[in-house]
Amino acid sequence: MELRSRNLITNYLLKAKFNFIFDENGIISISDFEGSEDTKDIVEKSLFRLNERIKGGKYKIIPAKNNEGEYIETTIKIPFQYAFVRS
């Protein structure tokens, strides 16, 4: 993947399938990941930032369920800038 500019608006679609796990504090982790290692790394970095906001009390995530009480399979979009965290 090549980046030409920090301000470049890019629409990359990364495909993966995984389950969210919520602990008693609402912190999110993933399990049963199906996808590339690069995509997994991007999702984990994005979740790290989201979890920092959850710990700070800014957000609360409530998993969606259907009428039968089963969790709904959904698509999430991760902002492109979250995919690359400076080290």
Q: How far is CA 40 from CA 17, 57, 70, 77, 78, in A?
A: 10, 26, 24, 14, 12
Q: Say how far residue 19 (Cα) sits from the centre of its chain.
A: 11
Q: State the residue range of the domain holding 48.
A: 15-79
Using CA atoms, how far apart are residues 55 and 41, in angstroms rounded to an integer?
A: 21
Tens of pLDDT, residues 56-83: 777 777 767 788 888 777 666 665 554 5
Residue at 4 is within a domain = no
Q: Is the pTM of this model over 0.85?
A: no
Residue at 2 is within a domain = no
Split into its structural domains, the chain has a count of 1
Tens of pLDDT, residues 13-43: 667 788 888 887 778 888 888 888 888 888 8
Residue at 24 is within a domain = yes
Residue at 6 is within a domain = no
